Structure 1
Amino acid sequence: MVAYIIGIILVVIVLIIVGLVFRKRAYDMVDRLESWKLDIMDRNVASQLGRVKNLNLTGETQEKFETWKERWETILNKELPDIEENLFDAEQAADRYQFTKSKKVLSKGEQILNSIENDIKRILQEVDELLAAEASSRKDIEEIQPGLKILRKEISQNRYQFGKAESHFDKQIDELEAAVEQYEELAMSGNYIQAAQLVNEMKADMEVLDVQIKAFPEIYKQCKHDLPAQLDELLSGIKSMEDDGYRVGHLAFEKEIRTYQDRLLDGVRSLNEGNTSEVEKVMIEIEERIKEMYELLEKEALAKNYLETKFSGYQFSLDKLSNSFYDTKKEVEHLKQAYYFEDADMERYLSLEKTVTKLKDQLDDIAEELENDDTAHTEIREQVEEGFTQIEELEERHEAFKKQIQNLRKDELEAKAKLSEMHDQLYDVKRKLKKSNIPGVPNYIWSMLETASNKNKRVIVTIENQPLDMSEVQQSLGEAKKSVDHVIEQTDFMLEQAYLTEQVIQYANRYRSSNPILAAKLAESERLFRSYEYELALEQAAKAIEEVEPGALKRIESTQSVMAE
């Protein structure tokens, strides 16, 4: 029971503490909103609104001022006092521990104060905007008025430079001056925002007008005088070139120039009405095209001069190449009787012949074009320049081909020289074998000699064939060379083995009487030696001496090498 009472007491204490905390929070909120309310009441909004009184309080300005003033008075006389009552109600509710009600009342009060803050901020911003708009537009209008006088003066003093467009620009200045009067009316009636918008439009229009007026005299002069004069001069130059034999008719410039002259006349009419943008585009197009025309005419003049100085040289170069190729052609016909030409060589030859013929035909066409007036010199020049390039390339190919056919004879002579050399080499091998003191020559050496000799004969047959096929000659020559080199190598090796065998046997004879086994092996080696089995004989003798005196074979080989040197 006691514990139950203590628990109740503790709960009550906790509730009291919680209530005190919530009440403290409510009081703090009331104090904060009260301070906020007092801060708003102390603000000098009325003096800020008083700045507007320096303007004309009529029309739009008066309406705005009345609206701002009414809203501020509502804040001071109604909304802020209502906030005071709300704060008192919230404080009483907190005293009675009606925290939900207190919180609701305080939340509503905070919302009202936020709304008031936003309204004050908006009012002051609108006031600043109105005053800034009035000051800015007044400053701009003070610059616009003298600017319009300067523009009108510039037109009146240079009327001849504007032609009929003078009335157009005067009308635009009149419209701007009328806009200035409209601004004055709007300002007098207190419509400063509309007046500021009007001034901004006037500034933009005046900037455009100022640019047009300053640029117009030069545009008008270019369109009416300068460009027509340039076109007349260009047309006269074209006629003079035609009289001097230049082929410019294919360019069709005369018709194009007439079209541009008509477009310039239309441009002058547009300028008299004050329209410059489209005319400027046409003028830029004509200026660029005149430049292009002069470049093309200059190109035609250079081409004519080029042909007058280079065409005879082109004829000479082509004739020289043609004559040189004719000599080559006769040589090829002669060589074809003695030599076989590969397909690739004949293709190169026929390609040269075809290109030379084509250039000669083209030369006739060019000569005919020069006689007639149908083809432009620039086009003919391109053909001649390309022809020079082809001649240079053909000369290189022709020289390479001539060297190639000249090499046919050279290769034939070299093949015969190599054949003679190999014949001498075989003779030397046979002579070397006869002079050697060996018991006899193994059959495989005679067989290789016969093979090499037959291959040499095969080379002779291929060389004597008509027409001569050098690829076949080179192939048979290579096979014969390989066979001759092989027989020389094998013969030298066989003789070295035979001589070394003799040396080994002679060296081993010192042990013969004292070593029956060695004597038997040497006897076998001598038998093989006499049977022309020199490799086996050397192997038998070397084995026998190495068993008795290790390292003896190397010493015998070294001695033989020194003697051979």
Structure 2
Amino acid sequence: MYCFFSLFLFNWSVLLGAIIINKYLKNVISSLHDDLAKLDDPLIAEDIDRLDKMDLAGASLERFSKDRKNYNRIFSEDVTKSLELLNNAIAANESYKLYTAYEIVKQVKPKVQEIGTQVLALQKGFMELLKFTRDNKLQLDALKKQYDDKRKYILSTSYDYSLALEALEDELHAIGCQFESVKNLTIQGDHVEAKRVLQKIRSAITKLEDELPLVKKTSSELLDIFPEQLTEISTTYKSMLKNKFSIVEIDICSTVKQLRNSIEESKKLVSQLKLKDADSKNHSIKETIDKCYDILTKEYKAKAFVDQHQAKIVKALTHTITNSVKLIKNLEHIDKSYELTHGELDEVRGLSSRIQHLNSEFDVDCQKVSDGGVVYSSIEQKWHKLIDEIIKTDERENKIFKDVDGLYDGEKIANASIEKFKQNVSLIYRKMERRNLPGKPDSFLQLYTLVVNEIAKTADKLDQVRINLEEISHELIQIQNDIDRLEQDTKEILDSADLVELTMQYSNKYANRNDIIHANKVAYDLYNNKYEYKEALDILAAAIEKVEPGSYKRIESDYYKK
């Protein structure tokens, strides 16, 4: 009983599996059948019918014929064969020959996918052919309008393009022939070739558009601007020659002739539409014309400068020469009484000689200007330098005059300083005398003697017929420094002497101390016999500080407060 039940379950499982596979295969076969049915798209048939009625030719016809043949073959052979196989698979599946049905489906499925890909590619090709036709028509209309507009514009403004008109008309004619070619190819149905020719037309029109502005620019320069400028340059140059100008920087006549030849060469380049070469040549022509203008303008301006400044320079030179002569005489007179230590007289004589030389050269230039045929720009450049030299000479001579003019005052100041120094030294000495000290230190007497001798020596120099004020000025500074030092030393001597007396009086508090007694004895000898007041104070101060720290500082502080 158990074996029977197991066998029943096994048979039931096999039957259930077969039913599931049968249903799966049925669905797959149905799906493949639908895919093949969808490939028969009426829109593709309409595209083929439209293309067939267009009377295609050439590459278009060749491509269409090939694609249509493949399309028909796919449906007559591949699709038909695939449908037959699918019908066999249906029959096998209905008879539950599941393995046979599966093998057929396995064979058909990739074939249906391949057919679908091929049909899609062919459909795209048919659509491209139709698009070529539409696009070609749109492009043709747009390019034809663009061409007609350019042709009308060139003809209506022919003067602007006259140099290259023949070459431009040749280009227009060539483009017109290409339009005819497109028209014929379209009539013949060769839309692929027509598209290629349209691309050539577009490039040709773009080239024409790029050429027109450059043709207009170069033609305007060659026909109008340059000839007018050369005429103006020639006329101006002739007028300048009549007015006794001389231009040596460039040969105007030869240059104008060369420029006219260059213009003709550039015209030929434009007529051949070698526009880059023509534009480059025009640039060179323009630079040379500008150079001619610059030279003529420079000479005109230079003449104006010469005319305006000739009389002014005459006046300036006369003024400078007169001042130089006066200054030399003044310096020669001063040199009798004062030593001119910086070579002022020789310098002014040199400046005067230079100005005289420049004046002679200026006279020569003025004569050349009067005779005519002078290069005014050279004269202007030379006179600018002359004006600078006149200004510098005047400035230098004025400074020298101011410097030597102060010599008289300097002598007075020096004499007054000597008198003042004598008084100051006398006051210092009397101050020392009034103190009634035992004697005067050697250092004081040496410095005092030095100062007195310095004053006498400098006073003697001031009494000479010819004096060197610069040297005397240095000596006066040194004397003042020495008097300041003498005055400071005198003050220190007197202060030291006073402090010695005050400190000795204070030291009486410690009269019984041997060290104080000894210090007083030494200080007394220095004070009364050797007149070394500062040293005497140092010995007393050290001794009293040792006995009573801070005591000398108090004595000194009280003294200076009083």
Residue number in structure 1 paired with 2:302: 303
TM-score by length of 2: 0.71
Post-superposition CA distance 1:390-425 (Å, at most 9, x none): 333333333333344445666555555444443333
Equivalent position SS for 1:144: helix
Separation in 2, partners of 1:252, 1:392: 37
Q: Give the match for residue 197 of structure 2.
A: 198
2:438 is paired with a residue of what secondary structure?
Answer: coil
Matches within 5 A, 1:53-68: 54=51, 56-68=55-67
- Once residues 535 and 152 of structure 2 are traced to their aligned partners in structure 1, the CA distance between those partners, rounded to angstroms, is 131
Residue 534 of structure 1: CA displacement? Answer: 1.8
User: 1:49 touches 1:65 (CA, 8 Å); kept in 2?
Assistant: no
Determine what percentage of the aligned residue pairs are the same residue: 18
Match status 1:138 vs 2:137: yes
Q: How does 1:118-157 map to 2 (within 5 A)?
A: 131-153=130-152
Contact kept, 8 Å, 2:331 with 2:345, in 1: the verdict is no
Q: Which residue of 1 aligns with 2:425?
A: 426
CA drift of 1:498 comes to 0.6
| Amino acid aligned to 2:370 | E
In structure 1, distance between residues paired with 2:36 and 2:332:
121
Cα gap change, 1:374/1:555 in structure 2, threshold over 3 Å: closer, same or farther? same
Q: Distance in 2 between matches of 1:118 and 1:411?
A: 120
| Contact 1:500/1:538 (<8 A) preserved | yes
Q: What residue is the counterpart of 1:228 in the other structure?
A: 227
Opposite residue 503 of structure 1, the aligned amino acid is L
C-alpha contact 1:186 1:192 (8 A) present in aligned 2: yes
Aligned partner letter, 1:301: Y
In structure 2, the residue corresponding to 1:375 is in which secondary structure? coil
Normalised by the size of structure 1, how large is the TM-score? 0.70
Shift in CA distance, 521/181, structure 1 to aligned 2, threshold 3 Å? closer
Separation in 2, partners of 1:159, 1:515: 136
Amino acid of the residue matched to residue 490 of structure 2? Answer: T
Structure 2 contact 71–122 (Cα < 8 Å) conserved? no
* Contact 1:56 1:187 (8 Å CA) reproduced: no
Alignment of 1:360-379 (within 5 A): 360-379=359-378
Find out whether 1:313 has 2:293 as its counterpart.
Answer: no
- Give the counterpart letter for 2:395 in structure 1: E
Indicate if the aligned counterparts of 1:235 and 1:254 stay in contact, CA closer than 8 A: yes
Which amino acid in structure 2 is aligned with residue 538 of structure 1?
L
CA distance 1:507–1:291, shift in 2 (3 Å)? same
Paired AA for residue 497 in structure 1: S
| Counterpart code for 2:497 | A
- Listed one character per residue, the Cα deviations across residues 417-474 of structure 1 (whole Å, up to 9, x for unaligned) are 4444433333222222222221111222212222333444554576678975566545
Give the superposition deviation at 1:336. 5.4
Q: Contact conserved, 1:164 with 1:273, CA < 8 A, in 2? A: no
Give the whole-Å Cα distance in 2 for the aligned partners of 1:417 and 1:78. 140
Aligned-residue offset at 1:313: 0.7
In 2: Cα distance, 1:422 partner to 1:222 partner: 90
Task: Give 2:96's aligned residue.
Answer: none
> What are structure 2's unaligned runs of at least 5 residues?
1-26, 90-105
Aligned match of 1:530: 528
RMSD: 5.0
Amino acid at match of 1:298: T
**How far 1:495 moved relative to its partner?**
1.0
Q: Tell me the distance in 2 between the aligned counterparts of 1:533 and 1:262.
A: 110
How far apart, in 2, do the equivalents of 1:115 and 1:453 lie? 135
Query: How far apart are 1:228 and its partner, in Å?
Result: 3.1
295 and 126 in structure 1: CA distance in 2 versus 1, 3 angstrom threshold:
farther
**Could you say which residue in structure 2 is the equivalent of 1:339?**
339
SS at match of 2:239: helix
Residues 2-401 of structure 1: matches in 2 within 5 Å?
51=47, 54=51, 56-68=55-67, 131-153=130-152, 168-209=167-208, 223-224=222-223, 227-248=226-247, 251-265=250-264, 286=285, 290=289, 293-333=292-332, 338-339=338-339, 341-342=341-342, 352=351, 356=355, 359-401=358-400
Q: Distance in 1 between matches of 2:454 and 2:119?
A: 123
Distance 1:214 1:279 in 2: 13
1:504, CA displacement in angstroms? Answer: 3.1
How many Å apart are 1:45 and its aligned residue? 9.0
Deviation at 1:325, TM superposition (A): 2.8
Over residues 172-192 of structure 1, what are the superposed CA-to-partner deviations in whole Å (9 max), with x where a residue is unaligned?
A: 333222211111233344443
* Amino acid of the structure 1 residue aligned with 2:185: L
Alpha-carbon separation, structure 1, partners of 2:424 and 2:112:
128
In structure 2, do the counterparts of structure 1 residues 544 and 174 end up closer, same or farther at CA, with 3 Å as the change threshold?
closer
Superposition deviation, residue 239 in structure 1? 2.4
CA-CA distance at 1:60 after TM superposition: 0.9
Residue type of the partner of 1:235? S
Q: Name whichever of 328-337 and 304-313 sits farther off.
A: 328-337
Aligned residue-pair number: 510
The answer to whether residue 502 in structure 2 is matched with residue 503 in structure 1 is yes
Question: Which residue matches 1:10?
Answer: none
The residue number in structure 1 matching 2:444 is 445
After TM superposition, give the deviation of residue 145 of structure 1 in Å.
3.2
Aligned residue for 1:439, secondary structure, equals coil
Is this contact kept in 2: 1:250–1:376, CA < 8 A?
no
Deviation track 1:16-52 (CA, whole Å, cap 9, x = no partner) reads xxxxxxxxxxxxxxx99xx999989966899569746
Assess, with a 3 A threshold, how the Cα gap between structure 1 residues 38 and 297 changes in structure 2: closer, same or farther. Answer: farther
Structure-1 residue corresponding to 2:18? none
Cα distance in 1 between the residues matched to 2:458 and 2:556: 40
After superposition, the Cα gap between the structure-2 partners of 1:562 and 1:261, relative to the gap in structure 1 and judged at 3 Å, is same
Q: Which residue of the partner structure matches residue 4 of structure 2?
A: none
Specify whether residues 515 and 144 from structure 1 end up closer, same or farther in structure 2 by C-alpha distance, changes over 3 A only: closer
Equivalence for 1:3: none
Structure 1 spans left out of the alignment, 5+ residues: 1-30, 89-104
| Mapped partners of 1:41, 1:355: distance in 2 | 118
Contact persistence 1:359–1:387 (CA under 8 A): yes
Q: Does 1:493 align with 2:492?
A: yes
